[in-house]
Amino acid sequence: MLNPVSIFEHLTNPEDAPIESRPTTLVGAAQVTDRVAERDGWAGVVYILAAINIFIGVFNMFPLLPLDGGHAAIAIYERIREIGRGGRRYFADVAKLMPFALGVIMLLAFLFTTGLYLEITNPL
């Protein structure tokens, strides 16, 4: 849904930017789903919903701390560190990763607000 690759191109010059790479939010997804529903019916809507669910699942497994993949990466790191400790439990200091997690949250918030701004000022 969000494409950070060409986001600045869409913000600075929306007329020349290709529509295929434009970031979108739930507003744009609803508009696209409406068009697909008119063309393909319920099968198209189910396909769009399945694609959104798969995207969210895959995106959620990226190894970034606020996402589930980040928590899984920390758990794997703790298990690897336990190997050399003779079975004693190792706990990673997650508080040291909080600035990085805040940066990821700020980036996601920026992408969301940028997509929402584009949806309001220049709808699909």
Q: Rounded distance, CA 6 to CA 59, Å?
A: 19
pLDDT recorded at residue 71: 92
Structure tokens, 116: 């929402």
pLDDT recorded at residue 6: 64
pLDDT at 99 over 90: yes
Residues sharing a CB contact under 8 Å with residue 90, sequence separation 6 or more, in sequence order: 78, 81, 82
The identity of residue 68, as a single letter, is D
Give residue 41's domain range.
7-121
The answer to the question of residue 58 being in a domain is: yes
pLDDT band at 1 (very low <50, low <70, confident <90, very high): very low
pLDDT at 102 over 90: yes
Query: Residues 74-81: what's their mean pLDDT?
Result: 90
The answer to the question of residue 23 being in a domain is: yes
Which pTM value belongs to this model? 0.71
The answer to the question of residue 71 being in a domain is: yes
Q: Is 92 helix (H, G, I), strand (E, B) or coil?
A: coil
Angle subtended at Cα 121 by Cα 120 and Cα 124, rounded to the nearest 5 degrees: 75
- The rounded mean pLDDT for the chain is 83
Residue 36 near residue 48 (C-beta atoms within 8 A): yes
Q: For the chain, what is the domain count? A: 1
Q: Rounded distance, CA 97 to CA 88, Å?
A: 23
pLDDT single digits (tens) 14-65: 666 566 666 677 787 888 888 899 999 999 999 988 988 998 999 999 998 8
End-to-end CA distance of the chain: 13
Instruction: From residue 65, give the alpha-carbon distance in Å to each of 46, 79, 93, 97.
Output: 31, 17, 12, 8
The answer to the question of residue 1 being in a domain is: no
pLDDT recorded at residue 101: 92
pLDDT band at 4 (very low <50, low <70, confident <90, very high): low
The answer to the question of residue 2 being in a domain is: no
The identity of residue 95, as a single letter, is A
The answer to the question of residue 100 being in a domain is: yes
